Amino acid sequence: MSETRRMVIRLDHVGVSYWLKQSLFKRRKFWALRDVSFDLYEGDSLGVIGKNGVGKSTLLRLLAGVMAPDCGVLENRGVSTSLLSLNLGFLPYLSGRENAILGGMFQGMTRAEIEAKMDDIVRFAELNEFIDQPVSSYSSGMQARLGFSVAFQVQPDVVLIDEVIGVGDADFQQKSVAVMKERIRAKDTTIVFVSHSAALIKELCNRAVWIEDRIVQLEGDAETVLAAYNNFLKTGKKCVEAPSGAG
């Protein structure tokens, strides 16, 4: 199925490392991602699953162009990306409105374009009178709603979502899932969705990647990958051994 669609991003044996300080004169290299390979196709809804600390958020930052790999090849074939992550945060001393404008402009919109869509952003985020309050007064759920609303107004080629859809009340989660399903059906947006929820990935994604020990264990149709991941949680049996020397 993928062969008939345009490839938009390609990763070939990609790795990302950091130097960790161990003492005043000693440090060691830590691999946040060790060996990651997969192709992303136009119209894909790709789920990324794995336990905490396996490199899922690092992967999204790579796809967003926020960081570059230390080894391997990452090829973006001319698509725009928007990273929606709680970890990126907002400027706490600015209002929700000001953060929405800055966020939209940072992702390629003009100030006039984002201001023209502000009513829709506020309505979808359900912030109403809170939109002009400083973000420091927002709960994590309110920040997630604002970030999600801005990201889906920007309408990039590829939306990168880091767990945000699981934050907030049940009604907003349902509304967010509905919006994602609408985009997926329209096939006008490619989505990469990081989540701990196998159920959400199964519901939203046609393909999935399972990362463990900072390498891709399995990549393919969502049902097959999730079955292997669930088996790992029960039995501890992985698909691929970690490379020697992994941090």
Q: What percent of the residues of the chain are helix, what percent strand, and what percent coil, each to the nearest 5?
A: 40, 30, 30
DSSP at 220: E
Cα(197)–Cα(173) distance, integer angstroms: 13
Closest CA to 47 of 187, 179, 216: 216
DSSP per residue over 44-94, as a string?
Answer: -EEEEE--TTSSHHHHHHHHHTSS--SEEEEEE-S--EEEEETTT---TTS
Cα(203)–Cα(201) distance, integer angstroms: 5
**Three-state secondary structure call for residue 116:** helix
Q: Which residues pair with 11 in a beta bridge?
A: 38, 74
Residue the block writes with tokens 């990452």: 74
Per-residue pLDDT of the chain (247 residues; tens, 9 = 90+): 445 788 999 999 999 998 888 777 788 888 889 899 999 999 899 999 988 777 888 898 899 888 899 999 999 999 988 887 655 568 999 999 999 998 888 777 889 999 999 999 999 888 999 999 999 999 878 888 888 888 777 778 898 887 766 556 677 778 877 887 787 777 677 989 888 888 888 888 999 999 988 889 999 999 999 999 999 988 887 776 555 444 4
- Are the C-beta atoms of residues 102 and 108 closer than 8 Å to each other? no
The whole-number pLDDT of residue 247 equals 43
Q: What are phi and psi of 172, to 5 degrees?
A: -70, -35
Cα(211)–Cα(193) distance, integer angstroms: 13
Which residue type, as a one-letter code, is found at position 125? A
Alpha-carbon torsion 215, 219, 222, 227, what sign? Answer: negative
